Copies of this chain bind each other. A is one copy, B any other.
Amino acid sequence: MSISQPPTPCPPHRRAAIVSIGDELITGQVLDTNSAYLASRLVEASILPVEHITVPDDDAALAATLVRLARATDLILCSGGIGPTPDDPTREALAIALGEDLVTDEPTRAALAERCASRGRPLTPLTLLQALRPRSAAMLPNTAGTAPGLFARLRPDAPAPGADVFCLPGPPMEVHAMFNLSVAPALRPVLRGGFATRLVRIVGLGESDAAAKLGPILARDRNPLVGITASGGVLTCRIRAQTPPDATSDSVHSELDRTEASIRAALPDHVLDGPPPGADRSIAPTLEESIIHALARRAETLACAESCTGGLLSEILTRVPGCSAAMVGSWVTYSNTMKESQLGVSRTLLESHGAVSDPAARAMAVGALDRSGARHALAITGIAGPDGGTPDKPVGTVHIALASRAADPATPPIVDARRLALSGPRQEIRLRAAANALALLHFRMRGLDPGRGRLSMEAACQPTAVARA
């Protein structure tokens, strides 16, 4: 966080509003995630959102909302309603709010024409809608899609300064890309007396176990303030330091450092590594980034064998750019036939123990290790539901196993396995199973035995004896 900044001609952004646009949001058919994303990015920049609002695809309603917000705030971030179909209202609404005509932005028109020409497609009137802007507005490039964004200063009561309005597309990936490219550099936060944040991620522990171990670090009157959220089997600690007006950047960061160190000391095995030196410390690597980067640093490779997760574990790992340095490949052996033919799990084993069993998970891991040539192999087999449970193996029963090649090729692989009893809907069980499997590998790479007490994603987790193959 930089504390000293030259004076700027425009007033700073003190109060922000976030506007989501779309009938599919207003009717609850689609869950809005853009508002929370934009809010958290503003908070990172020390700008406080005072309102989120969702409005339908309606020019007049949106224009009235923009005018109301331009009187109450100095920054308005919109998402949605800016595509090439006639129900997209944002362009028209901004023009109404500004009291301006829509004009064609010539460079955008030329770029759209060139794009269509290079692809042998006609330049349609609908495509050309995307080149329109209110007369005083500027276009914002869209590096993740087609529809450009819009920027304007809306001053309904000029000479009062009004508000800066950024109109972004609806698809979350386009929102993220355009925020990073065009909005973040244009923010003018109040630099003094704001706050600074840091994230710390925790794996292999449930929320209440983590809270019990963190104790007073979670007190609500503490500064920096620490909160926990759980998502997809991973916990994220948010550390937020309120900075007094006379704070320096160094003093704020040493406050954050001290709190982060307390969290690491309370949960030494479970806290993931932070960002590499020099990187933005308000962003923390995800579990999959942490695993891929640790493997790549150690020049080790990984393969996966999945049954109930159906490719989810591999998909999560391959989200990480550059994962090919560590990720060899995977088998999704949904049927028993595939478990036998592709991973060499014996029919006798499957018949005597079942496909959802400790021996099956271990055999899948060893089969994947042998066939892939990787250093480590993770296996998951379980019952994700909603059907298929039995009294012995209810829905949520998942066996995970990790096989790792020993340094001496003559020695058999080291295999650890765990039985998990997970709860929740199908996709939640699958996500937690994948996070637990990655936690096994996290502990192994730290030289820790993921034995009893070190893998409790939630109260329901039940360890089995950890045997060595």
Contact = CB atoms under 8 A, between A and B. Distances in A.
A307 to B, nearest CB: 9
A314 to B, nearest CB: 3
B220 A87 contact: yes
A426 interface: yes
A31 B38 CA distance: 12
A27 B229 CA distance: 13
Interface in A217-259: 218-220, 225-231, 236, 238, 240
How many copies, total? 2
Contact of A331 (B57, B115, B331, B337): B331
A317 B310 contact: yes
B29 A199 contact: yes
Interface stretch (A120-128, A154-162, A270-278, A397-405): A120-128
Interface stretch (A99-107, A206-214, A406-414, A439-447): A206-214
Main secondary structure on A side of the interface with B: mixed
Interface stretch (A3-11, A44-52, A183-191, A344-352): A44-52
Given A26-B50, A228-B87, A335-B328, A311 B318 contact: yes
Contacts of A197: 27
Contacts of A212: 124, 126
B338 A329 contact: yes
B22 A229 contact: yes
A99 B311 CA distance: 50
B51 A428 contact: no
A430 to B, nearest CB: 8
Given A144-B425, A311-B311, A328-B335, A26 B52 contact: yes
B51 A27 contact: no
Interface string A34-69: 011111111100001111111111000100000000
Given A51-B61, A329-B334, 14 more contacts: A24-B227, A28-B36, A28-B41, A28-B43, A31-B36, A32-B32, A85-B227, A86-B219, A126-B211, A310-B317, A310-B323, A328-B334, A329-B331, A331-B342
Interface of A: 20, 22-33, 35-43, 48-57, 61, 83-87, 115-116, 119, 121, 124, 126-127, 144-146, 170-171, 173-174, 176-177, 197, 199, 207-208, 211-212, 218-220, 225-231, 236, 238, 240, 304, 306, 308-315, 317-319, 321-324, 327-335, 337-338, 341-342, 371-373, 385-387, 421, 423-428, 430, 458-460, 462
